[in-house]
A and B are shown apart, each in its own frame.
Chain A
Amino acid sequence: MDFSERIKSSINNLPTLPTIYSQISEAMEDPLATNDKIAKIISSDQSSAFKVLKVANSPLYGLHGKIDSISQALMYLGHNEVKNIVFALSIMKIFSKEKNVRGLRPVDLWAHSIGVGVVTRNLGIAIGEKNIENYFLAGIFHDIGKIIFLEFAVKEYQRVVDLVIEKNCPIRDAEKEVFGIDHAAAGQILAEKWRLPQTIQNTIYNHHAEQKTKSIDTLLASVHLANIIAHILGFGFAGDSLISQPNPIIWEVLNLRRGALLSLKDKFIDDYSQTIKLMLT
């Protein structure tokens, strides 16, 4: 069995979605379920509930400590956003943070991913996007394929990281050389298995927005640009230090006002430093 097949088989053997997430999803689909019922499910895992409250009160959501119960979080942030936060926190628990390779630690990868989530959400707000519920989650999950490689093929991933240093190449090129697939493709397999929303699957698979990408919507354009900004601002570390030129189409899609990126810099940095403290500790 080659690496590519091995990775696919390992992903297929992963457990299904975390129980708490499935229970919340089920309750949210029930038209008769009240906020209190959903809040009870979330509160059944006290450490998750505590973290959800901390994240909901972070500057990222601009509610400045007003949320003191899960019911309030559901009301102010919306069901999907709370579900997304629970989901992100659960996934971060599932994967080991110990499988380090020389030059790349999972904790730095998660920090990078959270950074991309924070910047993606802020870009969504900056462009006046009305529905930004999935923006944070899409950013957090864009590099989930790298976590999978670390989890299931840590020795081979050391070779990937060494190749990046040796050739000064993008990590996805080194992954293709070693595994035959890159982290975008590996992440997509997991996203499919877990039946994540199609928009999230699309951003995981296409976040590099290469020329072959058929269409780029505002979410994908935001994640693509956020990934570049997170590299520039040094949010965590994603395995290589190269900063690629954005796909030119994103500028038309996002239609950012002139100077927006420079004026958002401090907000990106503040939100990132607060959010990693809440999510990674």
Chain B
Amino acid sequence: MIGHMILRNILHRPARTLITVIGIAVEVTLVILVVGLTTGLLTESAKRTEGVGADIMVQPPSASIWAAFSGAPMPIRIAGKLKKLNYVQAVAPVLVQFNSVNGLDIVYGIQPDTFSGVSGGFVFHAGHGLEAPDDILVDDVYARAKDVRVGQTLHILGHDFHVAGVVEHGKGARLFVLMSTLQQMSGAIDKASIFFIKCDRSDHTPAAMDEIRQLLPGYEIRPLKDFISLMTSSNLPGLSAFISVMIGIAVAIGFLVVFLSMYTTIIERTREIGVLKSLGASKSYIVEIVLSETMLLCILGSGFGVGLSFLMRWVFVTAFPSMTILILPRWVMFSGMIALAGGLLGASYPAWIASRKDPVEALVYE
């Protein structure tokens, strides 16, 4: 009976129902997309780093796993020492720069021969490798997103580069230039940000890491096999707080929408509440009706929000092909639970007000 009554109530005021459902859907979409975007960027970045093909990544002491944040403080001659260690097959020094012109991109300054030694070389979709100092390679995702073709000029890091080739994505960065050029541009002559190391056999990785630790005590030496698991929002300063704030804003939106919607509903249905009370409906019965209606609105809003999230992801990825948004089932569930909790919290005061209405005053309410 309560279910039927709630359904009829929801259908009776379609505009109010729609606005409430949209409000909750926005809340759910915001949570899913914010988390999906950050998770997507992290995972995609981690996969690309893994895609370099190295077994070990060496960074200076206290360096962030976010290579672009760590500058280039390591002398490049370390590469020679690393190359001489047991189990080390190849070493590729990389200078990493962060480009913020026309989007946010990581640029790898590489030595084509050493980088190929570790990664196995690029797969070219078009063009050729880095030859001239101003040559640049872009990956296919970047080329598609920015409509970049071989032969055109690309303005990156305040410098005009000549697009020499388009390569298959997944080798650490989307943009590659000669290390010597990037060193000159950034004033980091003979410096590197990362050393990617390829072992002669992957099961020699722990032994190689031990040798590197003896050679470079205090340096950050990480196996790339488990790199994805390290790329979490908690490892990026402020990202967890950003996500929490965004979720908080989303919950506040849902809370306010439900609160206002149910509060107006309670005022509008004052006489009906009086009727229910005259029939002997208890306070808990009235609270149950209000909260059950809220729950149904939250479920509808969550479902709509999940659908909207997939739609928005499609829109974003179509408009910005380099963007990765991961919609994770656990966050879909979590966003629904957040919406439900926020909604019930928002409806609890109106429900309490409704349950305490004086039946006589309610019955004469116009």
A, B bound: no
- B residues with CB within 8 A of A: none
- A residues with CB within 8 A of B: none
